[in-house]
Amino acid sequence: MRALARKSVVAAVSGALLFGVPATGAAAETAAIACDDDSSGQDASFYSGPSAGYTYDEKFSAGPKIPGLPEHTPQGLAAWNDWDGAGNDLLLISAYGKDGSNAKIYGVDPSTGKTVGDVEIAETHASGIAIARGWAFVTGRNNAEGHYTIRKYELSELADALKAEGSPYVKQTGEAREVYGASFLSGDGNTLYAGKYSRDGREKMYAYGVAADGTLTTGKSFEIPKGTQGLMVTGDKFVYSTSLSRDVRSNLYVIDKGATDIDIPSTRCFRSPSMSEGIDDLGGNAYVLYESGSYQYPDARNVIENLHKAPVADL
């Protein structure tokens, strides 16, 4: 079990040093959140490469095929309830293309596993996608000052384009909104969450209120784990998907919803396969997206070409 250092450990050690008292192992142990890394070390049963761990393999199973892997690299994942007005649900996958080509949004039916359609959007890394208050939000290109931006798309236009033949081009509505970070996006009713990725340590995300016209109003910030690539918001939890590189395991952090500080006793963490990206829930299931199946990463620890799913209640 690998421990995730907490601020209380730092405070305890600092206080001990200040008063000339050595910090004890017991104090450090009780002030740490364990990240479950127990694994058989054998090949996984439903994905390629070594198992991420007993916990992950017991909870998750293979879901729909990830589209576009020979030419695009998947990044963001968003659930869209009743996307066609006929009661059908959809998973949206945002992906960037080769050599500055247009990005894509794929629509995958989780009940059949089939790709319903895809659309092209202007070039971007497309690291996040989310649906909130009738809008689709996608990470845009950094602006001239190097700041992150978020684009918005009308859901009605996106739905029509997904139903059309080929890969129609969909324009964003208005100008992209400058934000603190947009390495990942997640929607929850009338709230959009957007945060910044860091390989070096913890970062933060902001909550944005979404107006009827898609305008974003900045709300409070939240501490997020190192390497956060995706966020799923449930009724009572924030579930963060984190990864650092192609050759190491990823993590899933389960944290109380609304927690601005992740150093709380209820925080849980367990290993997942390498190169996890977006995560969202639909129909009571959590779906996790991986970029390792892309043409770019044949040497990844786990080359994953399917979404993985697990009951949200099991997390």
Secondary structure E strands in 59-215: 61-65, 73-80, 90-96, 103-108, 115-121, 129-132, 135-139, 148-154, 177-179, 184-188, 191-195, 203-210
For residues 134 and 27, state if they share a domain. Answer: no
Q: Say yes or no: 12 and 122 in one domain.
A: no
Are 25 and 48 in the same domain? Answer: no
Q: Note whether 4 and 83 are same-domain residues.
A: no
Same domain, 12 and 63: no
My answer on whether 131 and 175 are in the same domain is: yes
Instruction: Verify that 3 and 96 share a domain, yes or no.
Output: no
Q: Going residue by residue through the chain (315 aa), what tens digit of pLDDT does each one get?
A: 444 444 444 444 344 333 344 443 333 333 446 889 999 999 999 999 999 999 999 999 999 999 999 999 999 999 999 999 999 999 999 999 998 899 999 999 999 999 999 999 999 999 999 999 999 999 999 999 999 999 999 999 999 999 999 999 999 999 999 999 999 999 999 999 999 999 999 999 999 999 999 999 999 999 999 999 999 999 999 999 999 999 999 999 999 999 999 999 999 999 999 999 999 999 999 999 999 999 999 999 999 999 999 999 999
Instruction: Check which CATH number belongs to the domain holding 67 and give it.
Output: 2.115.10
**309 in the same domain as 218:** yes
134 within 8 A of 85, measured Cβ to Cβ = no
Q: Are residues 169 and 80 in the same domain?
A: yes
Q: Which residues form the domain of 16?
A: 1-31
Number of domains the chain contains: 2
Taking phi over 0 as left and psi of -120 to 50 as alpha, with beta for the rest, 41 belongs to left
The token duo for 89 is 């649900």
Q: Are residues 262 and 123 in the same domain?
A: yes
- Domain shared by 27 and 40, yes or no: no
> Would you say 180 and 204 are in contact if contact means Cβ atoms under 8 Å apart?
yes
Nearest to 186 by CA among 222, 160, 161: 222
| 82 and 51 together in one domain | yes
